[in-house]
Structure 1
Amino acid sequence: MPPDSEAPDPRTAVHVDELSKRIIEQLQQDGRRSYAAIGKAVGLSEAAVRQRVQRLLDSGMVQIVAVTDPLQLGFLRQAMIGVRVAGDVQEVADQLAEIEEIEYVVITAGSFDLLVEVVCRDDDQLLEVINRRIRNLAAVTGTETFVYLKLRKQTYAWGTR
């Protein structure tokens, strides 16, 4: 799903056959893997893999991106912030999505209306984001911050198993 887009309606989702799932798995392991190598792994020609990958890209089901390690880039503080809202949750979600340090915004059910993930250089920047940017939004009634101490697992392999 492309960033900043709404989730597709599951009733109209594109059907993906087992061969396309195997191609996606190959790309999840290494997004730079050649079409020829993928073809060899899944039993298709390079041209057939190229066509299937292009259809997956065109449909918006797949995107190929470089994933960075924030710590190695000098962003030493990551946190998940639960946000409570009075009023239009979608409007607040859109406002939060505009904040540069916020990487992830999801509308939820439960004790929080929204969950947002932030990536910051340090605690001072995290405080700035929470105190002056998130809590300053008129409809935000409360936040709870969950600071990441250590990342143990991060995967992008959903949807093919």
Structure 2
Amino acid sequence: MIDHPSEEGGIRRGRAGRTAPALDDIDARIVDELVRDGRMSIRTLAERVNISRTNAHSRVDRLLRCGVITGFHAHVEPTKAGLGTAALIALSIEQDTWREVSRRLAEIDSVEHVALVAGEFDIVVRVRTEDNVSLRTLVFDHIQSLPGVRTCHTWLIFDEFEPEHR
């Protein structure tokens, strides 16, 4: 999907060689509102998007069924949850091991996100741990030692923020 800025400042999704239909403006506004506040009621959502509650409800149901909306999640402040250390880890792996390496990474509790990438590295992983000692143990004992991992580069994340447009 290609994201295009809409007149209202949100995101309008467009087609980019995909068979899935593009979101219309109302669907895109619904998604934008739910990204901002996934706990809002259908009534509030309908008011913000300026459609009926029945229409809002049926559209949200359709967006869930189609997999556009995959769920509603609590946003947790990692440091307050005891996870004060975050890092990005870039891995170079042996050819044809990405499925197994990705599967094993996904099984590690401290792993938050796994991305297969093109370029100098093959996989980039975002992790969160209690402290630097836990991070060291995670990297040396659990990630670097995975079968298929050739090299491992770790960058400590000093600070993070969400873009304001979300």
The TM-score by the shorter chain falls in which range? 0.7 to 0.9
Whether 1:86 aligns to 2:94 is yes
The 5 A counterparts of 1:1-150 are 11-62=18-69, 63-87=71-95, 88-150=97-159
Does the CA-based 8 Å contact 1:28-1:156 persist in structure 2? no
- CA distance in structure 1 between the aligned counterparts of 2:134 and 2:165, rounded to whole angstroms: 28
Q: How many residues align?
A: 149
- CA distance in structure 2 between the aligned counterparts of 1:128 and 1:155, rounded to whole angstroms: 34
Give TM-score scaled by structure 1 length.
0.85
Q: Secondary structure at the match of 1:12?
A: coil
- CA distance in structure 1 between the aligned counterparts of 2:103 and 2:64, rounded to whole angstroms: 25
Q: Following TM superposition, by how much is the alpha carbon of 1:154 offset from its aligned partner in structure 2, in angstroms?
A: 5.0
Structure 1 or 2: larger strand share? 2
**Following superposition, which runs of at least 4 residues in structure 1 exceed 4 angstroms of deviation?**
none
Q: 1:14 to 1:66 in 2, by over 3 A?
A: farther
Q: 1:109 to 1:144 in 2, by over 3 A?
A: same
- CA distance in structure 2 between the aligned counterparts of 1:128 and 1:156, rounded to whole angstroms: 36
RMSD across aligned positions (CA): 1.8
- CA distance in structure 1 between the aligned counterparts of 2:133 and 2:103, rounded to whole angstroms: 24
Counterpart residue type for residue 112 of structure 1: F
Does the CA-based 8 Å contact 2:90-2:125 persist in structure 1? yes
Higher relative contact order (CA 8 A, sep 6+): 1
Q: Deviations over 1:31-65 (max 9, x none)?
A: 11111111112121111101111111121111221
- CA distance in structure 1 between the aligned counterparts of 2:162 and 2:75, rounded to whole angstroms: 14
- CA distance in structure 2 between the aligned counterparts of 1:12 and 1:132, rounded to whole angstroms: 42
Q: Following TM superposition, by how much is the alpha carbon of 1:30 offset from its aligned partner in structure 2, in angstroms?
A: 0.9
Give TM-score scaled by structure 2 length.
0.83
Percent of paired sites with the same residue: 30
Give unmatched runs, 5+ long, in structure 2: 1-15
Give unmatched runs, 5+ long, in structure 1: 1-8
- CA distance in structure 1 between the aligned counterparts of 2:155 and 2:17, rounded to whole angstroms: 31
